[in-house]
Amino acid sequence: MNFILDGLFQAIQLLIRGDGETYSAVSATLKVSTYSMVVSLLVGIPLGFLLGHHDFLWKKHIRTITDTLMSLPTVLVGLLVYAFLTSRGPLGEYGLLFTLEGIAIGQAILAIPIVIALTATAVESIDEKLRITLISLGADKKQVFYSTIWEARYGLLAAGMNAYGRVLTEVGIAMMVGGNIKWHTRTITTAIALETNKGQFEMGVALGLILMAIAGIVNFSLSFLRNRS
């Protein structure tokens, strides 16, 4: 039990002391989650909009598939991405294995189905009357898209936060694709796994608390923005 309290003190110490390893892991985590979130939002929101807004053949089946992909195991994604990025894999020549960009690819694969499915739900929950209203106020197709996205902004925010939560806390992809290389691809989560393996439970707890703090800061600032608008 003691190590949890010790972990809290250690977390504070690490942050105040400006511990290099900790800040390196924090920076890696922030970078990689930002890359993957930007990609998954850019890809996921338009696809989710299409899925939620339009009717087409197989729509129901595609929704079921994206809903299922929301529970992709991170280790599986890690293995798949490794298979593509390894020097012997089809994308080996780009040298993305054991890089932050490589982890971001895997995390984007993890996050995109979440963004698609939750965007589709948010767009679906918007009234059909919105479309009618926008068209009858003179919106063209592009403006209908942008205005619908803007109307669904709270739903999209939830989609983004959900995906961010998954990306921030996953360890399987970061470990397998990133390799947990110190000063380089060691993220907070792989560092926690390592410290736990080394029996440094206090350190694991400390890093875990720092991760929680990051998630907290992100959520608080988003809800602050939300309340202001």
CA angle 59, 109, 96 (to 5 degrees): 145
Q: Which of 13, 198, 216, 223 binds other proteins (CB under 8 A)?
A: 198
Q: Which of 25, 97, 105, 207 binds other proteins (CB under 8 A)?
A: 97
Which of these ranges, 34-42, 66-74, 108-116, 165-173, lies near other proteins under the rule CB under 8 A?
34-42
The residue among 16 and 137 lying less far from other proteins, judged by its C-beta, is 137
From 175, 173, 160, select the one nearest 215 (Cα to Cα). 160
Contact status: 73 vs other proteins (CB under 8 A):
no
Considering the complex, state which of residue 70 and residue 174 has its C-beta at the smaller distance from other proteins.
174
Give whichever of 39 and 70 is closer to other proteins, judged by the CB atom: 39
Sites of contact with other proteins (CB under 8 A): 31, 34-35, 38, 86-89, 92-93, 97-101, 127, 129-133, 135-141, 143, 147, 150-151, 153, 179-184, 194, 196-200, 225, 228-229
